[in-house]
Amino acid sequence: MDVESTNPSWRLSFPHVLVATISSFLFGYHLGVVNEPLESISLDLGFSGNTLAEGLVVSTCLGGALIGSLFSGWIADGVGRRRAFQLCAVPMIIGASMSATTKNLVGMLIGRFLVGTGMGLGPPVAALYVTEVSPASVRGTFGSFIQIATCLGLMGALFIGIPVKDIAGWWRICFWVSTIPAGLLAFAMMFCAESPHWLYKQGRSAEAEAEFERLLGGSHVKYAMLELSKFDRGDDADTVKLSELLYGCHFRVVFIGSTLFALQQLSGINAVFYFSSSVFKSAGVPSDLANVFIGVANLTGSIIAMLLMDKLGRKVLLLWSFFGMTISMVLQVTAANTYVSGSGSLYLSVGGMLMFVFTFALGAGPVPGLLLPEIFPSRIRAKAMAICMSVHWVINFFVGLLFLRLLEQLGPQLLYSMFASVCMMAVVFVKRNVMETKGKSLQEIEIALLPQE
């Protein structure tokens, strides 16, 4: 059985990957959508000045996301990846419509919560799907699309939020707009390929073969099926228990995955995203301009990551990314130091922040979501991904909740030093525990990571 010497063409699987990343675009959009309009929402719905209520509008979403991501593995394994995408679009459409039409805070919160469940379900399924349908040679590049789409969603939300100050009730439009890509996702998924890995696990190998043909082209089908058959016998689809993931033979990979996500969140990136405008304001940069700068830094980093992902590999990007983030945080600490003169400290803090976002987007942002579905054996892939994403959401929630309080209590120097040390710990952790996966087939990775007997 000779392997085709050429790699499968990326053009075949490209449209399927694009449709899947709509869910990431929505994810980014809903993260950023209340950022600008929050003031006018609170005025219209009569809770302005109530910081708890404003905080809830932002974080109810995250609560919903935690629930969505907890169930994502079981949903993706139960109904298939395609149906899971369509299921994630439904609460997003309903929730956004509720938020757009509501007259009071309660309606807003229920709407945000529903949108959140969709947001929690989308990204892990997108990461699974993209990993399972793309050819090994471009899997890293395709995986970075998820990060780029999220980034575009965030920028789109900020962009649509611009007229919110001038036009009364514009924030309702901001919510309405998001139903368009959600509807598009649900509709377009009807025409996309189902994940061959999932079909095979269901024992539907003839269908898996047909989907491989759509995704990789006829000449690669045999080899891809051979790779699959080495592992999944197609009979143990339902035997993954939670206990097995938390303390069984798979504990190590799940631990690496969860820790990567925890480090990604504790590096302070969301604190930077949520509260960048206040840092820029103190530097005299208007907030809309600041958001543009951050968005551009994020997008540039993501695009560079996309180009390098399959060339340099995931591990190199992760290492340099966390290292760069450490340096940026050290710059921030220096800026917060009293010995540095006025204008110097401003340049340092703004420069440090932009560099932080840029280096984050180079590796720490896109890599964990891509690396995890690669290092999880296909039996546990969906469920393990769900657990890691849930860790991500819990930490995200608390960072969003506590950051401002901590900034008041500890002061910027101590807080940024803590972030810097987390980034440094991440460098050490990655060096010790993460394996390189670029260009390997999912089966090769699985063999390499088998617990040594």
Among candidates 137, 155, 159, which has minimal Cα distance to 147? 155
Q: pLDDT at position 450, please? A: 67
Q: pLDDT at position 149, please? A: 93
Q: pLDDT at position 397, please? A: 80
Q: pLDDT at position 132, please? A: 86
Q: pLDDT at position 338, please? A: 65
Q: pLDDT at position 232, please? A: 54
Q: Is residue 373 part of a domain?
A: yes
Among candidates 272, 276, 361, 275, which has minimal Cα distance to 322? 361
Q: 175 and 65 share a domain?
A: yes
Q: pLDDT at position 277, please? A: 67
Buried b / exposed e over 367-403, threshold 16 CB at 10 Å, is: bbbbbbbbbbbbbbbbbbbbbbbbbbbbbbbebbeeb
Q: 29 and 157 share a domain?
A: yes
Joined together, the tokens standing for residue 24 give: 């990431």
Q: pLDDT at position 243, please? A: 66
Buried b / exposed e over 187-218, threshold 16 CB at 10 Å, is: ebbeebbbbbbbbbbbebbebbbbbbbbbbbe
Q: Is residue 234 part of a domain?
A: no
Give residue 78's domain range. 10-193
Instruction: Find the CATH number of the domain harbouring 273.
Output: 1.20.1250.20
User: How far from 5 is each of 2, 192, 444, CA to CA, in Å?
Assistant: 8, 27, 17
User: How far from 132 is each of 16, 74, 194, 352, 382, CA to CA, in Å?
Assistant: 11, 17, 10, 37, 11
Total tally of structural domains belonging to the chain: 2
Q: 172 and 259 share a domain?
A: no
Rounded CA separation 409/168 (Å): 37
For 161-200, give the DSSP string: TGGGGTSTTHHHHHHHHTHHHHHHHHHHGGGSPPPHHHHH
Q: 307 and 174 share a domain?
A: no
Q: 315 and 172 share a domain?
A: no
Q: 257 and 400 share a domain?
A: yes
Per-residue pLDDT of the chain (453 residues; tens, 9 = 90+): 444 456 777 788 889 999 999 999 999 999 888 877 777 787 788 777 667 777 778 778 888 999 999 999 889 988 989 999 999 999 999 999 998 888 888 888 999 999 999 999 998 999 889 988 888 888 888 888 998 999 999 888 888 888 877 787 888 898 999 999 999 999 999 999 888 888 888 888 888 888 888 777 777 777 777 777 766 554 454 566 666 666 667 788 888 989 999 999 899 887 777 667 666 777 777 767 777 888 889 899 999 998 888 888 889 999 999 999 999 999 888 887 766 666 777 778 788 889 999 999 999 988 888 888 888 887 788 888 888 888 888 888 887 777 777 877 887 788 889 999 999 999 999 999 888 888 777 777 777 776 653
Q: 167 and 262 share a domain?
A: no
Q: Is residue 225 part of a domain?
A: no
Q: 306 and 187 share a domain?
A: no
Rounded CA separation 112/98 (Å): 8
